[in-house]
A and B are shown apart, each in its own frame.
Chain A
Amino acid sequence: MDTRPLQAAIRFGLGSRPDQALPSDPLAWLDAQIAGPDPEPPLPAGWPAPPTVPDGYRVLNASERNKRRPGQRHPADLHFEAEVIAAQAVRIDTAAPYRERLVAFWANHFTVARRAGYGAAVAIGPYLREAIRPHVNGRFTDMLRAVATHPAMLSYLNQSASVGPNSAQGKRTGRGLNENLAREILELHTVTPAAGYSQADVVEFARLLTGWGNERRKPPLGVVFRASHHEPGAKTVMGRRFEEGREATDAALRFLAEHPATHRFLATKLVRHFVADDPPPAAVARIEAVLRDTGGDLAAVAAALPRLPQAWNPPLGKLRSPADYTIAALRACGARGIASGRFAWGSTVRMNQSAWDARQPNGWPDHAGAWLGPEPMMQRLDWCYEVAGHFARLDPMAVLDTALGPLARDETRQALRGAGSPRDALALLFASSEFQRR
């Protein structure tokens, strides 16, 4: 029996659903998901159109003017929750799960987290719609430029607070640089320390980025370039000279995006995510070549990943991260809707991979070791039992056929048949070695 259609749904998608037929031609199915513009974005509850950064800031500003009743939730929390829940609901029932996987991959690469405060939290939904989603089949350079100048990132990595010490504003107030965004773009988003940059490069790049900021309180709300905050003079980053001014940002980001060290880093991360914890060097070299030869075309990369022979063998080589694991279980049960999205979001919080809230700017780890602690594994088993309680009316063997089909081991089928109740059987399915992998 050909397992490739199911493998495609598991390895490149978010797991199969009872109401979605498996593709007869897996590669064509994956290719079709990358073609064309971003599908209609998910709408959070109560919004007739996708909320923008200014919408989020208005929610936040109004909450600061109006006193809350005791016990009333903070409106910025409610706004964030509506967004994150809608986004989870889409992952549960999307018919283009490969595209959602790519969105999640790039959003993690360019992490912005709720824990940075309300200013970042209300901007994450717009950030994904404006800076990440439109570029998952575009160019890496364009995604980097959209990310680095988006209010969510400017606020998350403190760029809004960085002032050129010799700018008009710096001289007037005595304020100075904040290196955070400059350092993390170099270290985490592009060339990485493997490229051998120095502290002086970080400082020069921070000087170059001064001026980018964020207007939260007075219109026009959102991103702004303040010439009065921009450090005068040319800057030299990794041996490359950039002139004074706003245009230098585009030039420097393009230089970093197209650097060979960036291509190598991205290729390694992509192959680790879609193929194996220990990325096979041949596969990395192939993706690196695609990035180099196409000038960082992410659609070409997305087409090349499923064409790596290493991506299909062995079939279930990666441990599912908690975020993907919860979605896969809900998909196998045929769940959909906002209530399921809310449950999925709560599940990611419980299993230590809170959606849109990574602990540090390097995002969530992407190897089994990070999720394999004894206690996290016990919490995963506890979760199996809980989610099974929600779907105990389903036929567990039918859910097994949807989720694993020919990939289910005899031992697992046996365990389900011998279970004391449908709930126990479903819990065992979700606990099984096969279901925990992709």
Chain B
Amino acid sequence: MSHLPRIGRRGLLLGLTALAATRQARLAVAAPPALAMPDDRRLVVVIQRGAMDGLAALAPYGDANYRSLRGPLALAEPGRENGLLDCGGFFGLAPELRNFHRFFQEGSLLPVHAIAGPYRNRSHFEAQDMLESGAPERLSSGWLNRALEGTPPVPKGAPERGLAVGNDLPLLMRGAQPVGMWAPPRPVRPPPELYARMADLLHADPLIGDAVREGLRARGFAADALRGEPPARSGFVSLATSAGRLLAAPQGPRVAALEIGGWDTHANQNYALGRALKQLDEGMAALRGQLGPAWRHTAVLVMTEFGRTARANGSLGTDHGTGGVAFLIGGAVQGGRVVADWPGLAEGQLFEKRDLAPTRDLRAIAKALLRDHLGLPEAAIATAFPGAEGVAAENGLIREG
């Protein structure tokens, strides 16, 4: 049965003309015009939900108290079987982070240790909200969305500059700036005509209308960039692969957010954390593989809501803590060294005698990315991080030019 779609005034409003005219199985919004982007810089933010143990991911094996404090969680020294991967003689990466170590050796990995946001109460949920809000309180928009306000306007018809990869839009990317979304495709999809009718029916809905409009646009774009992609592996590696493919496109998005879980290691940490680290490590390698030459212009921030207790708890795990580690990765990063004002692991040096004491503010790193990598003006950075006037952007994280 042939049934012609009825694309009326509202369909036009939704930008669905191309869809109606072409009648292709793939949703295609108007082809974006060739863009003259000011430059090729890409920024990717990876949120590690659940609080990664920074002392496990990047172990300070050179600290005299490391072994006694960490006990069963202490890892073997570099060079030994399943030992740490050395980063300059004091810190070592967890053995699962093999690609991270390769990045370090070639100068494109920059770990920042003993770092935390401004929040000190050890609740995952409040801390994640503030990590993403970029403020000492929960806001309804995220700092990465507000940062997009400071980038040059996107030409009409072109895809959004920001992209959330995954099944959900994280708070980090919510806000006034439109962002695209991409999720792994599902097998059954309505024909484009029916999408158009659904959009027609929902266009005026104050809640749903916008989401459908953005969803259709994002799929139109994403379907274009991902055509011919081989079946990807599941989970984070697959998401990172797709993100890399989309970011590599000459007219693709320039800022992307991804999430990875599995960090809340209250028990049997050595095993549970190993799996999560391996996923992260392979995901970053996949991202780099897809980005190709664009890797040179890419910076990735890997961040988590807080660190974990310095000592093991009663079940070979760790409880919620404070200071941890963040990673900057990418060809644009001035890496190959560890940035840290190391607070020490002696009893009196720990925060509240239990957690790694934070000596750096995560917002200083994020601000530096906006200033030195995206080239945003001071005012735009202040909008992204309200109430952080006293936190100066860190210098020297990004390569010149």
Contact = CB atoms under 8 A, between A and B. Distances in A.
Contacts of B174: 369
A415 B315 contact: no
A36 B251 CA distance: 63
Nearest to A373: B169
A421 B181 CA distance: 30
A55 B189 CA distance: 41
Interface residues of A, number: 54
B122 interface: yes
B201 A431 contact: yes
B215 to A, nearest CB: 4
Nearest to B126: A193
Given A193-B123, A352-B167, A378-B216, A385 B189 contact: yes
A161 B266 CA distance: 9
Nearest to A351: B167
B126, B180, B197, B314: most-surrounded residue (chain A CB, <10 A): B314
A424 B352 CA distance: 61
A415 B218 CA distance: 25
Interface stretch (A17-25, A172-180, A299-307): A172-180
B212 A415 contact: no
B357 to A, nearest CB: 15
A178 to B, nearest CB: 5
B117 interface: no
Task: Tell me the interface secondary structure of chain A in the complex.
Answer: helix
A421 B211 contact: no
B158 interface: no
A382 interface: yes
A389 B125 CA distance: 39
A175 B314 CA distance: 5
Nearest to B311: A176
A193 B121 contact: yes
A319 B207 contact: yes
B188 A420 contact: no
A158, A352, A375: most-surrounded residue (chain B CB, <10 A): A375
Given A193-B121, A377-B212, A386-B188, A178 B202 contact: no
A166 interface: no
Contact of A374 (B193, B200, B218): B218
B205 A378 contact: no
A75 interface: no
Contacts of A384: 190, 198
Interface in B122-171: 122-126, 164, 167-169
Interface string B174-187: 10000011110010
B121 A178 contact: no
Interface string A383-414: 01110010000000000000000000001100
A32 interface: no
B317 A178 contact: yes
Given A161-B315, A385-B188, A376 B168 contact: yes
Contact of B314 (A163, A379, A427): A163
A350, A377, A386, A433: most-surrounded residue (chain B CB, <10 A): A377
Interface string B217-259: 1110000000000000000000000000000000000000000
A382 to B, nearest CB: 5
Interface string B35-56: 0000000000000011000000
Contacts of B198: 381, 384, 427-428, 431
Given A179-B313, A183-B122, A428 B197 contact: yes
Contacts of A418: 6
Contacts of A360: 49-50, 124-125, 264
A78 interface: no
B190 A382 contact: yes
B31 interface: no
B320 A183 contact: yes
Given A372-B207, A377-B215, A161 B201 contact: no
Contacts of A72: none
B317 A374 contact: no
A419 interface: yes
A326 interface: no
B211 A372 contact: yes
B281 interface: no
A436 interface: yes
Interface of B: 1, 3, 6, 49-50, 121-126, 164, 167-169, 174, 180-183, 186, 188-190, 193-195, 197-198, 200-202, 205, 207-208, 210-219, 261, 264, 266-267, 311-315, 317, 319-320, 352
3 closest pairs, A vs B, by CB?
Answer: A161-B315, A420-B3, A374-B215
18 contacts: A161-B266, A161-B317, A162-B315, A176-B311, A176-B313, A178-B317, A180-B319, A352-B168, A359-B261, A377-B212, A378-B218, A385-B188, A385-B194, A386-B188, A415-B197, A424-B3, A424-B197, A428-B198
Given A374-B210, A375-B218, 7 more contacts: A374-B169, A378-B215, A378-B218, A418-B6, A420-B1, A424-B194, A432-B201
